[in-house]
Chains A and B, each alone.
Chain A
Amino acid sequence: MQFFGGSSLTSVAPESSPAPAAPPGTGTGSNAQVIYVFNRNGVCLLYREWHRPLRTLARNQDQKLMFGLLFSLRSFTAKIDPTSTEHANLGAPLLPGQGCSFHSFKTNTYKLNYMESPSGIKLILLTHPRTGDQRDALKHIYSLYVEYVVKNPLYAPGSPIKSSHAK
């Protein structure tokens, strides 16, 4: 009940089921700029931005482009992987754990941190380029997702998350 409708939860959330402890040093979100969460079909379950001066495309286009980029990047890394002897064909659909996957890429203006769960849930965090390894932060976010979204009996998998309890 508390996860739909987007109502503020500040008074309710702390008393509800205990959140998994945040790993030290992940920051309070001051580093993070944008977060995307996709499911395995490309539906964007969550999109939050804290600091985004430039929006090149409309929201939908942007999300589709992001999903497409990640999909292609995974095929690319699986194929170019120098430590594996056997490569699937480029463009063949990859299961979540299959093939070498990447965890971040960096440009001069942003760093994209990526994590894919075994169920195909993709977490993307755009941060400042000099941010360190965010894999722990992403794991923490995923555990929050499991805790508050998946275990919610009223949540229909595949629909966008309307909770405002997101970080």
Chain B
Amino acid sequence: RRGRPARPKEPGFSAAAGPPANLQPAPPPPGAAPLCRPRNLAVNSAQPSAVAMGTVAIYSLFIINKSGGLIYYKDYGSAGRMDTNDSLRLASLWHSMHAISQQLSPTTGCTGIDLLQAHNFDLHCFQSLTGTKFFVVCETGAQNMEILLKTIYELYTEFVLKNPFYEMEMPIRCELFDLNLAQVIQKDRVALLGR
């Protein structure tokens, strides 16, 4: 399957115990050409303390299409590196397990796993009515992840589905979606770490 170009990590998202040594440089000046994707978003004044605290709101985001194929993956600070093939396999595995969990339900009306709690992380999943699944890996006990997932779903409908050049069930390569998603995640992070 096609490899993806490596994307630099978002600024300030260090791993839980890592030293703040990988701060991204300042964003490009406002007069930069509009075609270049601003990968380094605005660094706000709360940034240094957030980095010093070393906490991360979410670790990664996956979006899976209705057949189980991965269409979007973004890593925000996992300690280990995961290559494309691994993320594809994990997404398909999650899709299957989501389906199997419905079969094992002791009562009717099960719609699959919403929350998986592990020792080191939590995984929140949201499935839309069309079968597209959005799941985030976050730290244990993170609050308001359902709201975040719904917001990401709204961004998906706005910037991906309404994009006339986007083919259904294909990997998402929409700039506006990336931009807005990064803003939402950044805001979520600031809200979490600003306390």
Alpha-carbon separation in the docked complex, A56 to B89 (Å): 27
Alpha-carbon separation in the docked complex, A100 to B60 (Å): 16
Asked whether any CB of chain A lies closer than 8 Å to the CB of B72, the reply is: no
CB–CB A79/B107 < 8 A: no
Alpha-carbon separation in the docked complex, A49 to B106 (Å): 9
CB within 8 Å of B: which A68-96 residues: 68-69, 72-73, 75-77, 79-87, 90
Alpha-carbon separation in the docked complex, A160 to B152 (Å): 47
Asked whether any CB of chain A lies closer than 8 Å to the CB of B104, the reply is: yes
- How many residue pairs, one in A and one in B, have C-beta atoms under 8 Å apart? 131
A53-B93 contact given A101-B119, A103-B117, CB 8 Å threshold = no
Residue of A nearest to B138 (CB): A82
Asked whether any CB of chain B lies closer than 8 Å to the CB of A37, the reply is: no
A100-B121 contact given A106-B115, A107-B102, CB 8 Å threshold = yes
Asked whether any CB of chain A lies closer than 8 Å to the CB of B113, the reply is: yes
| Inter-chain contacts of A82 with B (CB < 8 A) | 15, 59-60, 77-80, 120-121, 137
CB within 8 Å of A: which B7-55 residues: 15-16
Alpha-carbon separation in the docked complex, A77 to B110 (Å): 22
What count of chain A residues pass the 8 Å CB interface test? 42
What's the nearest-Cβ distance from chain A to residue B160, in Å?
24
CB–CB A105/B115 < 8 A: yes
CB–CB A84/B107 < 8 A: no
Asked whether any CB of chain B lies closer than 8 Å to the CB of A66, the reply is: yes
Q: Mark A147-161, 1 if CB is under 8 A from B, else 0.
A: 000000000000000
CB–CB A102/B117 < 8 A: yes
CB–CB B105/A87 < 8 A: no
Asked whether any CB of chain A lies closer than 8 Å to the CB of B86, the reply is: yes
CB–CB A81/B110 < 8 A: no
Give residues in A with beta carbon < 8 Å to B: 33-34, 49, 51-54, 56-57, 62, 65-66, 68-69, 72-73, 75-77, 79-87, 90, 100-110, 112, 126
Other than the given A62-B104, A105-B101, A107-B105, 8 more pairs (CB < 8 A) read A49-B106, A53-B106, A56-B103, A69-B100, A81-B80, A82-B78, A106-B113, A112-B101
